[in-house]
Amino acid sequence: GVGVGERDCRDVLLVRYGLELVNIPRGDAAPLHTTDRPLAELLDVVADSPWLLSPVERKRFVKHVRAETREVRLAELRSLMASFAKARQELKDVRDQISLDVMRKASVVGMTTSGAAIVQRVLRQLGARVLVVEEAAEVLEAHVLAALSPRSQQLVLIGDHKQLRPKVQVYELTVEARRGHNLDLSLFERLVDAGVPHATLSTQRRMRPCISRLIRETLYPGLRDAEAVVGAYPAVRGMARDLFFLDHDHPEDGSGPEDESKSKSNAFEVRMVVAMAVYLIRQGYRPDEITVLTPYVGQLLKIREALSAETLVFVDDR
């Protein structure tokens, strides 16, 4: 609520009732009265005879003055808030107009889906005829719809519905929860599942065939390797195989019930990664040709610390 101080009450007493707060020495105080009149009667007589109020009546009158003062201050606050909201909207209108003028001079306008939702009114005024959504399988359907305008003629969705879905904070709203909400089902995935005609890229031009074989046998049975990657990469120096998985039985650090850390780390894997990186450097690879990926911040910090003692480390925590 709005706090009411003595200064606020002084203003109301003076303006409404013509009274001023004064400090009366205890020895000069008038004798106390014992009357108990209702508030309506007190308001009629208080301006002429405030000293004739009994302690009970004074408390009643003071309570009324505080409530009245609070209403006055609330009215002033509402007026200030309305003025602020108006000024803020005027400033936003100016900034939006500047953004619109810049966009109208461009052939292509790029922004995030969150940014598009924020400037939705500007986008409607811009009236772009073609909307291209990259990584559409990771975008909430509502975000795509918010970026459309009455002038939109074509919507191009580019993505892969077999990879990550949009992020939803509440698990009960996800497809995986099987409660029918399916908030993280993107428009891209929904259209593909509904049989809407779409084009699929079936040739990969980056991975070694031994790596592409992993996803061909699990997710993309029709994936083909371009001729440019077949036999294009030399064998990894010093390694018996270009691709392998290492299984071990060393537990994570602090895996006991007393450990409350949310991030994971494994000291054995840290030592293994550092040793392998050093080994590859000794085979003639530069540090910038070696990349270490880890999903946990705790492990990232320990690997960075250990590698820093051996070589130059560049960390991208995305």
Instruction: Give the model confidence (pLDDT) of 288-299 as tens digits.
Output: 899 999 989 999
What is the largest distance, in Å, between two alpha-carbon atoms of the chain? 109
Q: With a cut of 80, say whether residue 3 has pLDDT above it.
A: no
Q: With a cut of 60, say whether residue 259 has pLDDT above it.
A: no
27-31, 60-64, 132-136, 174-178 — which is least confidently predicted?
27-31
Instruction: Give the model confidence (pLDDT) of 118-159 as tens digits.
Output: 888 898 899 899 999 999 999 999 999 888 888 999 999 999
Residue ranges of the domains in the chain? 6-101, 106-200, 201-233, 239-318
Partners of 155 in beta bridges: 131
Which residues are CB-contacts of 225 (< 8 A; sequence separation ≥ 6)?
A: 203, 204, 207, 209, 212
Alpha-carbon torsion, ordered 302, 303, 306, 307, to 10 deg = -150
pLDDT at 41: 84
- Inter-axis angle of helices 6-17 and 55-104, nearest 10: 100
pLDDT exceeding 70 applies to what percent of the chain?
85
Find out if CATH 3.40.50.300 is the number for domain 106-200: yes
C-alpha of 7 from chain center: 42
The letter for the amino acid at 146 is A
How far apart are the C-alpha atoms of 220 and 217, rounded to whole Å?
A: 7
Which residues are CB-contacts of 26 (< 8 A; sequence separation ≥ 6)?
A: none
Return the H-helix or E-strand segment holding 30.
Answer: none
DSSP state of 238: T
How far apart are the C-alpha atoms of 277 and 273, rounded to whole Å?
A: 6
How far apart are the C-alpha atoms of 49 and 56, rounded to whole Å?
A: 15
Helices (H) and strands (E) in the chain, counts: 10, 4
Q: Dihedrals φ, ψ of 8, to 5°?
A: -60, -45
* CA proximity to 201, closest of 217, 218, 180, 224: 224
Instruction: Give the model confidence (pLDDT) of 85-113 as tens digits.
Output: 999 999 999 999 999 999 999 999 999 88
